Each structure stands twice: as structure tokens, then as C-alpha cells.
């Protein structure tokens, strides 16, 4: 299975400051059709995961534009330009290029 | 508006089976695959398998082969996940997810406790 490794595991950030999340895969996520099936999810305490980003850098409807993402191959990044209180939670990356789909272990964002 | 509602929490003995339902509304049920994902305490999310309600095709993670059965009832717009030979390590929240693109809409989760 493809192993997804996220860092850091915990990210304390001051309100209004930026945050950056890293995700690395054990194999390239570039599919034969040219797509790279890497998504980012937010899971707030007590809630189901919510997709924020799909295919590396496409923001889902309703996701604030302070969220952005980039990357290619094996190395991906999610950024929040200015952290707000509602952003607290765990952020997961997920690959859907190789079966079975796999998730990173998550980065917990907390307010400093 | 896609809405996904799962069945309620379950408590099972080791060796038993559990069946979780996932009712979908807001789009044509047979159009998109329904995926099952679980989250055990302190563990990362784990993709279990999926079913395409249109033709009944399924695909399971090797980890769950032989213990996992995913079915659907198109007349009820509902998918089912059955996990057998339960052990304590199967204690987890079980989620279904569906929609026009992978992972776009999720159910509220079903807690299965094996004890």
C-alpha cells in the first residue's frame, strides 16, 4: 500500500498567522491519465471529514480562499494564509491513485 | 443537496457481525460509487471498499477480504456494509462517502464497539 506521511503531527499557530502542512507519498501519485489524485480533508472535533481540496490544488465549493494547495509527484503542501479559530482540527491528505486509497496520519492544528 | 444518513451506534461481541446502513438523497443513487472508510481510536482513516449502486460492482481492500461485504438496495437508495468475525481492533467510527466526485459528501459516522 502507498504510505502517506504528514508533517508536522501537531501545529500550534497564532490567530492570523499562516500555517503549512506537508504530505509525502511512498510512490508517485501521477496517474496514467495525467491526473494526480491527492486530496486534503479537514476534520473538526466530533465531525466527519470534510474535503477541502481535490486533485492537488482545486478548492471545493464553500472553502475559503485562505486555503491553498500545491505539489506534484510525491510531495504536496496545504497552506492557510491566515488561521482563524474555526480552522482548528485535524488535516489529512489522501491519495486515490493507487488501490487501496490511503490517508496520512493527520496534522492537528491548534491555536497557540 | 446531497445528504447521507447512516444507522446508529452498535455494540457487538467478538466474533459477531455488524451491518451498517447508508441512506443517500439529493442525487440519483445509481450514479456514483459509495465508499466505506473507518477511523479507529488513535489510528489514521482507512479505506475499506466501495460499491457502484448502478451495477453492483464492488472492490475491497485486501485487508478486509473475506470479512467485508458491501451491498445496496436501489429501491431504498441505501448501501450496506457488513463486517464479520469482529475483534476488538474493529472498534471504530465507520463512514460512508459518495457523490459526483470522490470524497465530496460523507455520512455522520457510525460508532461500532466490539467488547
Task: Find the residue in B nearest to A90 (Cα).
Answer: B44
Please provide the distance, in angstroms rounded to a whole number, between the alpha carbons at the two ends of chain B: 37
Across the interface, whether the CB atoms of B44 and A99 are under 8 A apart is answered no
Please list, in sequence order, all residues whose beta carbon lies within 8 angstroms of the beta carbon of residue A34, skipping any fewer than 6 positions away.
none
DSSP structural state of residue A60: P
Across the interface, whether the CB atoms of A48 and B95 are under 8 A apart is answered yes
Dihedral angle of Cα A69, A71, A73, A74, to the nearest 10 degrees: -80
Confidence class for position B2, pLDDT limits 50, 70, 90: confident
Instruction: State whether residue B107 sits within 8 Å of chain A by CB.
Output: yes
CA B103, CA B96: separation in Å to the nearest integer? 9
Instruction: State whether residue A7 sits within 8 Å of chain B by CB.
Output: no
Checking if the pLDDT of A50 tops 90, the result is yes
Residue B103: what pLDDT?
87
Q: Choose from A25, A38, A49, A52 for mutation: most chain B CBs within 10 A.
A: A49
CA A80, CA B27: separation in Å to the nearest integer? 32
Q: Which residue among B44, B108, B109 sits closest to A105, beta carbon to beta carbon?
A: B44
Q: Where are the beta strands (DSSP E) in B28-103?
A: 34-39, 46-51, 58-60, 68-73, 78-83, 92-98
Q: What is the pLDDT of residues A67-80, one digit of tens each?
A: 999 999 999 999 99
Q: What is the pLDDT of residues B44-66, one digit of tens each?
A: 999 999 999 999 999 999 999 89
Q: Which residue has the cell 443517500?
A: B24
Instruction: State whether residue B46 sits within 8 Å of chain A by CB.
Output: yes
Residue B101: what pLDDT?
84
- The bridge status of strand A58-59 relative to strand A50-54 is antiparallel
**Torsion B35-B41-B45-B48 (CA) sign:** negative
Q: What is the pLDDT of residues A5-47, one digit of tens each?
A: 999 999 999 999 999 999 999 999 999 999 999 999 999 999 9
Residue B100: what pLDDT?
82
Cα within 13 Å of Cα(B111), Cβ side: 7
Cα within 13 Å of Cα(A83), Cβ side: 20
Percent of chain B with pLDDT over 70: 100
Contact (CB, 8 A) for B28 and B34: no
Tell me what the pLDDT averaged over chain B comes to. Answer: 96
CA B13, CA A75: separation in Å to the nearest integer? 42
Instruction: State whether residue A98 sits within 8 Å of chain B by CB.
Output: no
Residue A7: what pLDDT?
97
Retrieve residue A57's grid coordinates.
Answer: 490544488
CA A70, CA B25: separation in Å to the nearest integer? 33
Checking if the pLDDT of B1 tops 90, the result is no
DSSP structural state of residue A55: T
Residue B42: what pLDDT?
87
With CA atoms as reference, report the closest residue to B29 among B48, B61, B5, B59. Answer: B5
Amino acid at each position: 500500500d502507498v504510505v502517506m506521511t504528514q508533517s508536522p503531527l501537531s501545529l500550534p499557530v497564532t490567530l492570523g498567522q499562516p500555517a503549512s502542512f506537508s504530505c509525502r507519498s511512498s510512490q508517485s501519485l501521477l496517474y496514467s491519465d495525467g491526473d494526480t489524485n491527492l486530496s486534503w480533508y479537514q476534520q473538526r472535533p466530533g465531525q466527519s471529514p470534510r474535503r477541502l481540496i481535490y486533485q492537488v490544488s482545486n478548492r471545493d465549493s464553500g472553502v475559503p480562499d485562505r486555503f491553498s494547495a500545491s505539489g506534484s509527484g510525491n510531495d504536496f503542501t496545504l497552506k492557510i494564509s491566515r488561521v482563524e479559530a474555526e480552522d482548528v482540527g485535524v488535516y489529512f491528505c489522501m491519495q486515490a491513485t493507487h488501490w487501496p486509497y490511503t490517508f496520512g496520519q493527520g496534522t492537528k492544528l491548534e491555536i497557540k | 443537496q446531497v445528504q447521507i444518513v447512516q444507522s446508529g451506534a452498535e455494540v457487538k461481541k467478538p466474533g459477531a457481525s455488524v451491518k451498517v446502513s447508508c441512506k443517500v438523497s439529493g442525487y440519483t443513487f445509481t450514479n456514483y460509487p459509495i465508499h466505506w472508510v473507518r477511523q479507529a481510536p488513535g489510528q489514521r482513516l482507512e479505506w475499506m471498499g466501495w460499491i457502484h449502486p448502478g451495477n453492483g460492482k464492488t472492490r475491497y481492500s485486501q485487508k478486509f477480504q473475506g470479512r467485508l461485504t458491501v451491498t445496496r438496495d436501489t429501491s431504498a437508495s441505501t448501501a450496506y456494509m457488513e463486517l464479520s468475525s469482529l475483534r476488538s481492533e474493529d472498534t471504530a467510527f465507520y463512514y460512508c462517502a459518495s457523490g459526483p466526485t470522490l470524497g465530496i459528501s460523507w455520512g455522520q459516522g457510525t460508532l461500532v464497539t466490539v467488547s
